[in-house]
Amino acid sequence: MKNILVLCTGNSCRSQIAEGYLRHFAGEKAEIYSAGIETHGVNPKAISIMKEDGIDISKHTSNNIDEYLDIDFDFVITVCDNAKEHCPFFPTKAKKFHHNFPDPAKSKGIEEEVLEEFRQVRQMIKDYSKQFVSDNLF
């Protein structure tokens, strides 16, 4: 079984969404973790838009990267440039991947416009996660 860490700035939106989809697509082939350089709590809109797609992340917690320094990760995926720039060194064989997804938490506008931005980012992360699992776990 592979260990995968998804890393973001605050572990509130993008990394939480990616954790949900990676768990969904990887099944028993990997243990998925997500963390942030900081912890901002899981964004309620991320929970809501994932529920729309049948993925429950309501029990996820916002974790700091320091909690996982002793895990031997096979893959570390950074999902924002800030996390990539500040990603700590892992004394493992972890292969690093990076994709800078837009931060839906910074969306402005009326509620429906903000939710639509969350949905667009969700779809980007879903597509990336599905491809990542296909390319690296099968």
Question: What residues act catalytically?
Answer: 8, 80, 87
Strands 75-78 and 95-98: parallel
Tracing tokens 């509130």 back to the chain, one arrives at: 12
Which residues lie below 8 Å from residue 3, measured CB to CB, with a gap of 6+?
A: 30, 31, 33, 71, 72, 73, 74, 75
- Whether the CB-CB separation of 76 and 90 falls below 8 Å is answered with yes
Q: How far is CA 126 from CA 25, 65, 69, 78, 118, in A?
A: 9, 23, 26, 15, 12
